Amino acid sequence: MPLAANAFKRALVERQPKIGLWLGLADAYSAEICAGAGFDWLVVDAEHSPNDVRSVLGHLQALAPYPVEPVVRPPVGDAVLIKQYLDIGARTLLVPMVESAEQAGAVVAATRYPPQGIRGMALGLARAARWATLQGYATQANDQICLLVQIETARGVDSLERIAAIDGVDGLFIGPSDLAASLGYPGNPGHPAVQSTIDQAIGRIVRTGKAAGILAADEVRARQCLALGCSFVAVGSDIGLLSRATRRLAETFQSKVPVAPQSGATY
């Protein structure tokens, strides 16, 4: 069995816009429902959701039959964690809080087998290599890794071009909430100063030749980011969808519950 090409990575190179959804419920069953919805990519979040390596594995197994790219976000750009995620089958990673070219270079090295990097090799134990049955995995895996780094601080914005220049970084993803806090506007990513910084950052990323991405749950803002040149945009989350739908359903009935006639009966 040959190693499949990473079509998501190729699409970013070709600047084909790809629409994604955040998975924060930390449950493979709900993730599979989202996999069949028609999104191009789904973020399996292990930074702000209660996922561990084993539950991420469950997500990857649940999503595997569907034409959607799992994008695994580790809690930190740690080489050991990255090795584990890659071995269980992740091939597209979204690494948070990258602030310098040196940090980006270290993350790239963690995703590559030697001599290009430092990823440990244990093909017989790795689901990614189909337990040493995938032909050419050891020599081809590096080329199919897609690495996305998150720009979420003022320092990261200042270092944007230097980060983008690192070979092996495929895309730069703006994190609006953390960036807003870093700029002095915690809880207010919609502040004009934050939005201006984001718009400028998107333009700078596009000019480097790397793919730009963002999370924009508002449809108007998402379309603006696509127009600015973003190649991959997450337009919501499973938690947000469930929360809004359940509140809306409850409100619908709470506002229309008929008042029962009063009587002396207890039943």
The CATH code belonging to domain 7-245 is: 3.20.20.60
Query: In the beta sheet, which residues pair with residue 2?
Result: 135
**What local confidence, expressed as pLDDT, does residue 263 receive?**
42
**What local confidence, expressed as pLDDT, does residue 267 receive?**
30
Q: Which of 79, 20, 30 is nearest to 51 (CA)?
A: 30
Give pLDDT tens digits for 165-217: 999 999 999 999 999 999 999 999 999 999 999 999 999 999 999 999 999 99
Give pLDDT tens digits for 88-109: 999 999 999 999 999 999 999 9
Q: Which of 39, 93, 44 is nearest to 233 (CA)?
A: 39
Token pair in block for residue 248: 């809306």
Residue 128 CA to residue 32 CA, distance in Å, equals: 20
Q: Which residues are catalytic?
A: 48
Parse the chain into domains and list their residue ranges.
7-245
Residue 161 CA to residue 157 CA, distance in Å, equals: 8
pTM for the structure as a whole: 0.94
| Residue 154 CA neighbour count, 13 Å, CB half | 9
**What local confidence, expressed as pLDDT, does residue 64 receive?**
98
Token pair in block for residue 50: 């209660």
CB 172 within 8 A of CB 212: yes
Regions in the chain scoring below 50 on pLDDT: 263-267
